[in-house]
Amino acid sequence: MNGSAGGMSPALISLAVGLVVIVRFLFRELRERTVKVRTLWIRPGIIALLTVGFAVAAFARPSVNPGLFVLMLLAGAAVGVLTGVLVLGSTTFAPAGIAGAVRVRGSVVTVIVWIAALSLRLAARFVVGGAGADLTTQYELNAGLLALLAGAFIVVALGFHRAIDRLAPDATVARTL
C-alpha cells in the first residue's frame, strides 16, 4: 500500500474546501442582502493586497517568467473588469432604508458569470501547461486568477458604491473610500 489509499490527498482537500467556499458565495449572490458603504471595500481591499503581495513574492522567485507573469496579471485584471461589469448588469439594487446602505440581489446570470470567470483558471491550466502544468506555471496562472478577482471585486464595489450614492444620498457624509 502506498499510504494515500486510506486518506484524502491535500489537493483533493483543497478542491473540496474551494468548492464549499464557491458554492456558499454563489448562493449568497441569489439572496437579497444589505450592502453597507462602511464595509463595502473590505473584500476588494483584501484581494487587491493579496494580489500585490503575490506579485512581489513572484518576482523573488527565479523560476517565474516575469513577462508571462505580468501578462497573466494584465489578462486576469481585464477579464476581472469584464466580469465585474457583467455582474453589475445582472444585479438589482433597491433602497435599504438605512443610511449608507442598499439592498442587492444577484441573479442566475450573475452566478453563471462568476462560474464562467472562475472556470477560466482551470481551463487556462490545460491551455498553458497541459494537465501536468509545473508549479511555476501554476504560480503564474494563480496570479491571473487573483488579478481577475481583484478587478471584478473592485468594479463591483464601485458599482455598489454608485448605487448607494444614488439610492441613499443622505449617507454621502458617512461614506469612506
Q: What is the pLDDT of residues 44-89, one digit of tens each?
A: 999 999 999 988 888 888 888 889 889 989 999 999 999 999 999 9
Question: Can you tell me which residue has the cell 435599504?
Answer: 96
Contacts of 47 (CB under 8 A, 6+ apart): 146, 149, 150, 153
pLDDT value for 140: 80
| pLDDT higher than threshold 70 for residue 137 | no
Contacts of 108 (CB under 8 A, 6+ apart): 30
Mean pLDDT to the nearest integer, 130-148: 74
| pLDDT higher than threshold 50 for residue 3 | no
CA distance linking residue 32 with residue 129, whole number of Å: 40
Please give the span between the terminal C-alpha atoms of the chain, in angstroms, as a whole number.
Answer: 57
> What is the pLDDT confidence band of residue 136, given thresholds at 50, 70 and 90?
low
Q: What does DSSP say about strands 101-105 and 92-95: parallel, antiparallel, or unpaired?
A: antiparallel
| pLDDT higher than threshold 50 for residue 119 | yes
Contacts of 14 (CB under 8 A, 6+ apart): none
Question: Can you tell me which residue has the cell 478587478?
Answer: 151
Tell me which of 114 and 50 has the higher pLDDT: 50
**pTM of the model as a whole:** 0.79
pLDDT value for 25: 76
